[in-house]
Structure 1
Amino acid sequence: MAQHGPDDAADRGRENVPGDSSRPVTIAYIAESAGVSVPTVSKVLNGKSGVSAEKRALIEELINRHGYRKPSGSNRSNVVELVFRELESMWAVEIIRGVERAARKHRVGVMVSEFGLHDSAPGWDDTVSRRPKCVLSVAQLSAAERAELTAKGIPFVVFDPTTELPDDVPFVGATNWSGGRAAARHLIELGHRRIAMIAGPEHVLFCAARLDGYRSALAAAGLPSESRFVVHADLTREGGCSAARTLLALPERPTAIFASNDLQAVGAYQAARDAGLRIPEDLSVVGFDDLPVVAWADPPLTTVHQPLTEMAVAATELALTLGRGEQAPQIGLEIATTLTVRSSTAPPKH
C-alpha cells in the first residue's frame, strides 16, 4: 500500500482552488485534504488546542493556499431551529416556551422540527439546507450530524445531553446529581431507612447522575445502597408502575421510592394503589422534573424541579451567541435543580 505524507495531502489540496465550480472549498474539503476530521480543522480555525503542531501547520497551509474563510452569519436565516427527536412529550411545551422567550428578545424566529433517532436523512437534510442562525437539539447529535453542522458553519447547542459529549460540544443541562441527592436526603430526613429508587435506563447520562446522587445521600447518612432496592425502568408511567410492583413485592418492602422522573412516579402511584397502600401514609414517593401536571396529582407529588424553561432560555442565548460568531464565557452550562415538597412524602409509620 502506498504511503502518503503531508506533502501528498497538500498536493491533493491543489486539485481544487477557489473558483473551481466542481467543488467549493469548504471546511470538510480542507479536512479531507489534510487527512483529518472536520472538528480538528474547526479547532485550528477557532484557535483551540488539542491539535499537534504538524497537523496544525498542514491545515493552516491548506487554509491559506485556498483562501478559505469561515462562513459568515450573513448567509444564514434569522431563525433558531429547535430539533426534537420526540415532540409529543410533556417536556416539549416548557422547552419551546423558553426558546421563544429568548428568541423574541433577540428578534429572531423559531422553527420547530421533529425526526426520530432512526429517521432517514431527508428530515435532517432539510434542517441543514435551511441554514438557520443556529440549531438547538433536544437530543443527542451524532458525530456525523455535528460534523455536518460545523462544515456548514451552523453553530449548535445540545439540550440536556443523554450521553457523554466531546469537550468542545456546547450543551445546557441540569444539576442531576445534586437533584438526586436532594430527593434522597429529604426522605432520609423524614426518617426513612428503606429507600428504593426506580432508576432510568443505565445508558442515559442524566439518569446515571440521579442514581449516583441518591447513592451519595445514602452513604452520607450511613445507609447501605442495596441492589434489591434499585430497579431500572423506562422513563414512562408503565415503566414506573412495573418497577414499583417489583419493589413493593419484596419481603421487606421499601417505605419510600424515589423515581427518576415524574412519569415513573405516577406509575408508582398506580402500583401502590393496586397493592392497597396509601400515599404518603404507607409509602412516600418523590419524582424528578416537576411537570405542571404533577401538582394536580392525588396527592400532589413531591419532586425535584428541573427548570426546563430556564434551561431552554440559557441554551438559546448560548446558541445565539455562537451564531453571532462571538466567544461564549463557557460552552457547558448546568442549571440548578430545587426540591419542591408537596403531599406525597411523610415520615414512615413505626
Structure 2
Amino acid sequence: MPSRRVTIAEIAASAGVSVPTVSKVLNGRADVSETTRKRVQQIMVDRGYQRRAAGAQRPVGLIDMVVPGLDSPWVVDVLRGAESEARKVGSQIVLTSAEGAPAGDRRWLDRLASRRSDGLVLVVSEAAPEAVEQLRALHTPVVLLDPVGGSDPSFPTVGATNWAGGLSAVEHLVSLGHRRIAALSGPPQLACSQERVEGYRAALGRADIAVDERLVRFTEFTTSGGLAGARAVLDAPDPPTAIFAGSDMQAFGVFHEAAARGLRIPEDLSVVGFDDVTFSALATPPLTTVRQPLTRMAAEAVRILLDADDASPGPPPRVELATHLVVRGSTGPVRR
C-alpha cells in the first residue's frame, strides 16, 4: 500500500511557518530569509516531501474569483480577504461578475483555458454543468465560498454558521420582548438563505412562538429586496414589531420602508441585519447585525486553492467559520 503523500500544510506546521511561506520556498521566491529557507528545505528532506509530478503545470500566479454581482459592499470585504491571501505568494485575483447567471459561459472558459488559472473561487455562485467538466479537464481547482444549495459535493467549501447566526439574531429580539418577528432572506435556492431562516424558526420554537408564514419572505439580498419584503410584512393585519433581515442590504431597505411609514427604529420597529458590512455601524441608528467573517472566509478559500495540489486524500474540506451578534442601536424593547 503506497504511503500517504506529505502535504505542504504539514511541512508548514513542522517548520512553524505559514503555508504561503512554504510555497515561496518551493517556488524559489527571494522574499524568504535564508534561515527559514534552509529550515523548510531540511524538513522537506526529513519528511520525504515530493513535489507535483513531472510535467504538471507550474503556477501562473492568477486566481479567478466569480461573484454574483458588484452592487453589494460585502463583495469588497470578500475581495479584501482574497487579495490579501493571494498577495502572500505573489498571486493576483482575476474578478468576474456572473450577474446572477451560472458561471462558465463558453467565452469565459476559452479565456481561462488560453491564459490558465491556478484556481477558481465561486462566491455564492454555481458553475454551469458544462463548465464543471471543462474545469476538471483543465485541472483547475475549485472552491465554493458560501455555496448555493445542491452544489457539486466534490468541491471544497467555505461558509459561515448561518443557522447559528439566525438563531442568535432572533433570540436577541425575543429577549427584548418581541413575539411578532418577521424574517426576510435571499433567494430560496441559496443554502445560506434557507439556513438563516431555519435559525429564525428554531429561535421562535425555543421561545414557544408559532411561526406565522405570512411574516417569512424570500426576496433578494439587496436594498430593493428589503424594501419589498418589509412592505409585504408591514402590510399584514397584525404587523411585526421586529424584523430579522438576512443581509445588511435588506436591513437598509427595511430602514427606508419604515421611514416612509413614519415608523421609528427601534422605538416602533426593531431591525437586525446579517453580514456587518463596513458602514453598518454608520447607519442611523447603527445597525444591530450578525457579523459574518467575510474577509477570513475569502482568505481561507484562497488558501485551500493554493494547497490543492498537496491536499490529503479523502473528502474535500468543509470549513465553517463562526458568526456572532453585534448589538447596536437598531434594536430595543417591544412597546407595551
- Residue matched to 2:18: none
**Pairing 1:134–2:123 present:** no
Give the deviation of 1:346 after TM superposition: 0.5
Alignment counterpart, residue 221 of structure 1, candidates 192, 199, 207: 207
C-alpha distance in 1 between matches for 2:113 and 2:98? 13
Give the deviation of 1:260 after TM superposition: 1.1
Alpha-carbon displacement from aligned partner over 1:275-297 (angstroms, at most 9, x marks no partner): 11100011100011111122111
**Pairing 1:315–2:301 present:** yes
C-alpha distance in 1 between matches for 2:253 and 2:177? 24
Rate the CA distance shift 1:70–1:131 in 2: closer, same or farther, 3 A: farther
- Paired residue secondary structure (1:81): strand
If asked which structure has higher relative contact order (CA below 8 Å, sep 6+), I would say 2
Alpha-carbon displacement from aligned partner over 1:264-322 (angstroms, at most 9, x marks no partner): 11111111111111000111000111111221111010011111100001101111110
- Residue matched to 2:159: 173
- Residue matched to 1:144: 130
- Residue matched to 1:291: 277
Contact 2:85/2:303 (8 A) holds in 1: yes
Alignment counterpart, residue 79 of structure 1, candidates 40, 59, 62: 62
Q: Structure 2-normalised TM-score? A: 0.78
**Pairing 1:344–2:330 present:** yes
C-alpha distance in 1 between matches for 2:307 and 2:241? 48
Give the deviation of 1:333 after TM superposition: 1.0
Give the deviation of 1:132 after TM superposition: 1.2
Q: Structure 2 counterpart of 1:128, which letter?
A: A
Alignment counterpart, residue 93 of structure 2, candidates 96, 100, 110: 110
1:188-267 correspondence runs (5 A): 188-267=174-253
Q: Structure 2 counterpart of 1:195, which letter?
A: I
Rate the CA distance shift 1:202–1:114 in 2: closer, same or farther, 3 A: closer
After TM superposition, the structure 1 stretch with the greater mean CA deviation from structure 2, 93-102 or 120-129, is 120-129
1:269-288 correspondence runs (5 A): 269-288=255-274
C-alpha distance in 1 between matches for 2:313 and 2:298? 16
Q: Which runs of 5+ in 1 are unaligned?
A: 1-68
Identical aligned pairs, as a percentage? Answer: 40
C-alpha distance in 1 between matches for 2:56 and 2:252? 46
Moved over 4 A (4+): 69-73
Q: Structure 1-normalised TM-score? A: 0.75
After TM superposition, the structure 1 stretch with the greater mean CA deviation from structure 2, 199-208 or 71-80, is 71-80
C-alpha distance in 2 between matches for 1:109 and 1:308? 19
Q: Structure 1 counterpart of 2:118, which letter?
A: K
Alpha-carbon displacement from aligned partner over 1:204-249 (angstroms, at most 9, x marks no partner): 2110110000000100111111112212222221121122122222
Contact 1:71/1:153 (8 A) holds in 2: no
Rate the CA distance shift 1:178–1:319 in 2: closer, same or farther, 3 A: same
Rate the CA distance shift 1:72–1:305 in 2: closer, same or farther, 3 A: farther
Q: Structure 2 counterpart of 1:103, which letter?
A: A
Give the deviation of 1:151 after TM superposition: 1.2
Alpha-carbon displacement from aligned partner over 1:143-197 (angstroms, at most 9, x marks no partner): 3222211111111111111222233211111111111111111101111111111
1:92-111 correspondence runs (5 A): 92-111=75-94
**Pairing 1:184–2:150 present:** no
Size of the aligned set, in residue pairs, is 281
Q: Structure 1 counterpart of 2:220, which letter?
A: D
C-alpha distance in 2 between matches for 1:288 and 1:72? 46
